């Protein structure tokens, strides 16, 4: 008997009818002789609505209470789903994060799972029940409710699959798998049969929200077989696997984008040791993650430099205020920022062995008159920061230029 962890996202449980359909599918899997642990997201749009309500009261709501509020979204789904299973004649039991002993650190809104005690879940499985777990939430060591960051239900599912040593973790979503780019941006996007953990990690961290970044990190660390597939169409999706998956050594395998970026620039900073630390320490103390960073000392020997970096849009105002305070202390001239930016990235495991990817990317963007504000690279990706209005255009142009619409044979694993 196999143990399967299945996660259903917000669209998949978006209405009572859809919840009933998912319950039917899960019961089918169970009747086929498998044990099933189901992880559910909040119904589509629910988490956004809860955030909006809190912000009507306070633009920067208390983080502890915000997590208490957001955790209610998933509570609704697991209860309705368990009611549906029981109504269809199959025993099920719902678990909130703390009931499932999903233990996290205490960083509200971006907590990390560090331990799951599976005793009670295992007991329920042994009793033949369908186990239904609220995604996206856990509990810190003091008993506070925490949430794992937007899209975090994927991470709950992979974390549970690792802890329970499941044979597979299936992520059911509103697209048929992982594509060469977001299929909602271009119809030319192709579904990949396989994708390597490494490329999937890079795609997730570059903003392809089909999988939450931490979920891929868990999958890599614990070697959890991950299958991304549709909850609406009966078709094989994408297997996230170890190693290179492409028969042809294509340099670029996917284009990702992230609109959740904001740029900050601190102007005319004295160019001397210790300044970068003085700027970034208070930013990190405030729990703000920094993404791209550029610093370029003037070759004219002015002794001054500009420092530009990006943060998530939600952190923009907080980061700007911190920088304004720091600017005074370190004698910088000014602080500027822009929230209308997006990051577009080309990703490929074989980029290591190809040259000219970055220059091709820059010329494609320049031919379309798209200005590049920042650039960053790693061994397997090139990212550009551009005006957010050009995101979709840039994604389509790059997808064409790197011929991602062309059929590329996968290895048969």
Which residues would be at the binding site for ligand ASP (CB under 6 A)? 9-10, 41-42, 47, 73, 135-136, 150-153
142 phi, psi to nearest 5 deg = -95, 5
Q: How far is the CB of 257 from ligand ADP (least distance, A)?
A: 8
**CB of residue 33 vs Mg ion: minimum separation in angstroms?**
29
For residue 323, what are the contacts with CB-CB under 8 A and spacing of at least 6?
Answer: 264, 266, 279, 283, 335
Rounded to the nearest 10 degrees, the angle between the axes of helix 213-222 and helix 153-164 is 10
Alpha-helix runs per DSSP H in 262-376: 275-285, 316-330, 357-367
Shortest approach of ligand ADP to residue 370 CB, angstroms? 20
Task: Please pick, from the candidates 173, 215, 253, 345, the single residue that binds ligand ADP as defined by CB under 6 A.
Answer: 173
- The answer to whether residues 1 and 34 touch, using CB atoms and an 8 Å cutoff, is yes
Of the candidates 171, 156, 158, the one whose C-alpha atom is nearest the C-alpha of residue 111 is 156
Is 156 a binding residue for ligand ADP by CB under 6 A? The answer is no
Which whole-number Å values give the CA distances from 229 to 11, 147, 325, in the listed order?
Answer: 13, 24, 47
| Angle ∠(114,117,120) on CA atoms, nearest 5 | 150
Give the residue, chosen from 6, 10, 95, 388, that forms a contact with ligand ADP under the rule CB under 6 A: 10
DSSP letter assigned to residue 369: T
Q: Of 399, 391, 392, nearest to 188 (Cα)?
A: 399
Asked if residue 174 binds ligand ADP (CB under 6 A), the reply is yes
- Nearer to ligand ASP by Cβ, of 66 and 279: the residue is 66
Residue 7 CB, nearest distance to ligand ASP (Å)?
A: 8
Tell me, residue by residue from 150 to 189, as one string, x for binding to Mg ion by CB under 5 A and - for no binding. -x--------------------------------------
Q: Does 151 bind ligand ADP (CB under 6 A)?
A: yes
Give the residue with the Cβ less far from ligand ADP, 240 or 341.
Answer: 240
11 binds, among ligand ADP, Mg ion, ligand ASP, none (CB under 5 to 8 A by kind): ligand ADP
207 binds Mg ion, rule: CB under 5 A:
no
**Neighbouring residues of 234: CB distance < 8 A, sequence distance ≥ 6:** none
Tell me: does residue 159 bind ligand ADP (CB under 6 A): no
Q: Interface with ligand ADP by CB under 6 A: which residues?
A: 9-12, 41, 151, 173-175, 178-179, 181-184, 208-210, 254
Q: Interface with Mg ion by CB under 5 A: which residues?
A: 9, 151
């Amino acid at each position: 008997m196999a143990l399967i962890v299945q996660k259903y996202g917000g669209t998949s449980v978006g209405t009572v009818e859809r919840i009933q359909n998912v319950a039917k599918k899960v019961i089918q899997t169970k009747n086929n002789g498998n044990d099933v642990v189901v992880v559910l997201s909040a119904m589509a749009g629910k988490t956004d609505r809860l955030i909006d309500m809190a912000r009507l009261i306070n633009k920067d709501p208390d983080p502890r209470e915000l997590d208490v509020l957001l955790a209610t979204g998933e509570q609704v789904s697991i209860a309705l789903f368990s009611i549906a299973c029981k109504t269809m004649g199959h025993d099920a039991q719902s678990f909130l994060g703390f009931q499932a002993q999903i233990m996290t650190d205490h960083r509200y809104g971006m907590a990390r799972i560090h331990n799951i005690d599976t005793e009670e879940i295992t007991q329920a499985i042994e009793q033949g029940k369908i186990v239904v777990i609220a995604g996206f939430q856990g509990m810190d060591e003091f008993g506070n409710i925490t949430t794992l960051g937007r899209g975090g239900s994927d991470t709950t599912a992979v974390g549970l699959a690792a802890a329970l040593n499941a044979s597979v973790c299936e992520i059911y979503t509103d697209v048929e798998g992982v594509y060469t780019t977001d299929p909602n941006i271009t119809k030319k996007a192709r579904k990949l049969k396989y994708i390597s953990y490494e490329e999937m990690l890079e795609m997730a961290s570059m903003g392809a929200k089909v999988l939450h970044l931490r979920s891929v990190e868990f999958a890599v660390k614990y070697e959890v077989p991950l299958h991304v597939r549709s909850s609406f169409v009966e078709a094989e999706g994408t297997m996230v696997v170890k190693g290179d998956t492409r028969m042809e050594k294509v340099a670029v395998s996917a284009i990702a984008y992230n609109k959740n970026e904001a740029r900050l620039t601190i102007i005319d900073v004295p160019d001397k040791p210790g300044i970068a630390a003085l700027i970034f320490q208070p930013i990190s103390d405030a729990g703000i993650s920094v993404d791209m960073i550029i610093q370029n000392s003037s070759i004219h020997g002015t002794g001054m430099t500009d420092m530009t970096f990006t943060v998530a849009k939600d952190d923009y105002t907080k980061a700007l205020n911190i920088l304004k305070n720091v600017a005074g202390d370190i004698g910088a001239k000014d602080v500027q920022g822009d929230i209308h930016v997006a990051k577009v990235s080309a990703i490929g495991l074989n980029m290591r062995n190809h040259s000219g990817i970055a220059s091709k990317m820059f010329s494609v963007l320049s031919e379309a008159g798209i200005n590049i504000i920042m650039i960053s690279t790693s061994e397997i990706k090139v990212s550009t920061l551009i005006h957010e209005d050009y995101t979709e255009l840039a994604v389509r142009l790059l997808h064409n230029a790197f011929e991602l619409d062309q059929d590329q044979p996968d290895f048969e694993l």
